[in-house]
Amino acid sequence: MFHKDMPYRRLGSCGIKVSALSLGGWTTYGASVKAEDTVRSIIRAAFEAGVNFFDISDIYEKGEAERAMGKVFAELPRHELVISTKCFWPMSDDVNDQGLSRKHIMESIDKSLKRIGTDYVDIYFCHRPDPNTPIEETARAMDDLVHRGKVLYWGSSEWSGEQIRMAQEICDGRNLYAPVVEQPQLSLVARKKYHNDVAPALADHGLGAVTWSPLASGLLSGKYDDGLPEGARLWRSENLRKSYLTPENMQKVKEFKALADEAGVSRAQLALAWCLAQPQVASVITGATRLEQWQHNLGALKVNLGDELRRRIEALFPADK
Ligand SMILES: NC(=O)c1ccc[n+]([C@@H]2O[C@H](COP(=O)([O-])OP(=O)(O)OC[C@H]3O[C@@H](n4cnc5c(N)ncnc54)[C@H](OP(=O)(O)O)[C@@H]3O)[C@@H](O)[C@H]2O)c1
């Protein structure tokens, strides 16, 4: 995959390159967006704009996101795609159908490959740390998957800096394929853990980050300025609404509009451009419910984020959250 307007970045210090903007399927494809034509039109538009990296998880609508996105991937050249999926969250009540045990990893990958309709995934993520499984057991299972060709690279999601460092040390000491990427939350309203804990560990060990919820589930676009638009994500999810729609966030997002206006871009584009400029970030995983959202968000690549604008953005959204 190559598109002249899409930057491609190395995933940390390894050789594979991912598009700076990528597309994920959480709560959307196979869930709030069930129509196959809509899923197809968004994924195809992203691909045509140069996106090569697509992110899924087994838990997204219990396999339905893998199925919905996999159907579209089947129409695209597999070798041009960087497909990731994940395991950890319980897929059933079975005590072993969860976590990062060798058993769950080995069984989950086969189910994911079947649902996606591919022989391998480019990146396999541990969707959270598992306090009930030693990191060495997880690392050995992942190493085996790489040897078997089912997984090309593996990584973590929402691990702490300490866990990231520990995994590297264990893999280095035992000559195992080590994680090359972390998938952390990063947005203007969620930056404390990334900047204070995760990014330094990634830099020390040469890992890349592919970051999630860059618009804080849409909040940073300003769509909630005047209430809850019916059908929008924070209208649909009470949990997300409670965590994001705080009076403090609402106020800041309104003030953020002045900065975006001055720069001649939208808040969504500016929020994405800020994520793209953060250390260790290889790709910012976006979400889109509608084709127009994707097309609009793509404009983030054209934003000129100078030092002064960045300083003012970070003063409005300090790294205390
Ligand atoms: N590793 C993890 O634990 C984890 C967790 C969460 C997400 N992720 C990954 O990260 C990906 C992206 O996360 P996300 O979907 O939360 O990203 P996001 O960019 O924060 O939110 C995307 C949502 O915001 C709304 N939106 C997007 N662009 C908009 C625009 N220009 N104007 C108005 N509304 C807009 C849409 O929702 P509505 O139209 O429905 O309101 C869209 O579905 C996921 O798909 C998944 O692959 C990973």
Check if the beta carbon of residue 283 is closer than 8 Å to that of residue 22: yes
Q: How far is the CA of 270 from the centre of ligand 1 (A)?
A: 15
Helical pair 247-263 and 307-316, crossing angle rounded to 10 deg:
170
Residue 173: pLDDT band by 50, 70, 90 thresholds? very high
Q: Which atom of ligand 1 is nearest to the CA of 86?
A: 1
Distance CA 55, CA 185 (A): 14
What's the burial of 110, exposed, middle or buried (CB within 10 Å: 0-12/13-18/19+)?
Answer: exposed
In degrees to the nearest 10, what's the CA dihedral of 85, 90, 95, 97?
-30
Share of the chain above pLDDT 90, in %: 98
Q: Provide residues with CB under 6 Å of ligand 1.
A: 24-26, 28, 32, 55, 157-158, 183, 212-218, 221, 223, 232-233, 268, 285-289, 293, 296-297
Distance CA 117, CA 71 (A): 8
Q: How do 181-183 and 151-157 pair as beta strands?
A: parallel
Distance CA 272, CA 45 (A): 18
Residue 8: pLDDT band by 50, 70, 90 thresholds? very high
Q: Give 92-144 pLDDT, tens digit per residue.
A: 999 999 999 999 999 999 999 999 999 999 999 999 999 999 999 999 999 99
Q: How far is the CA of 31 from the centre of ligand 1 (A)?
A: 13
Q: What domains are defined for the chain?
A: 8-215+279-302 (3.20.20.100)
Query: In sequence order, what are the residues at sequence separation of 6 or more whose Cβ sits closer than 8 angstroms to the Cβ of residue 28?
Result: 65, 287, 288, 289
Distance CA 253, CA 128 (A): 29
Q: How far is the CA of 288 from the centre of ligand 1 (A)?
A: 6
Res. 302: pLDDT tops 90: yes
User: Is 29 one of the catalytic residues?
Assistant: no
Q: Mutation test of ligand 1: which of 181, 198, 257, 285 has the most ligand atoms closer than 8 Å to its C-beta?
A: 285
pLDDT of residue 89: 98
Average per-residue pLDDT for the chain: 97
Residue 288: pLDDT band by 50, 70, 90 thresholds? very high
Query: How much is the pTM?
Result: 0.98
Q: Give 40-79 pLDDT, tens digit per residue.
A: 999 999 999 999 999 999 999 999 999 999 999 999 999 9
Distance CA 81, CA 121 (A): 10
Res. 1: pLDDT tops 90: no
Residue 321: pLDDT band by 50, 70, 90 thresholds? confident
Considering the candidates 60, 124, 153, 244, report the single residue annotated as catalytic: 60
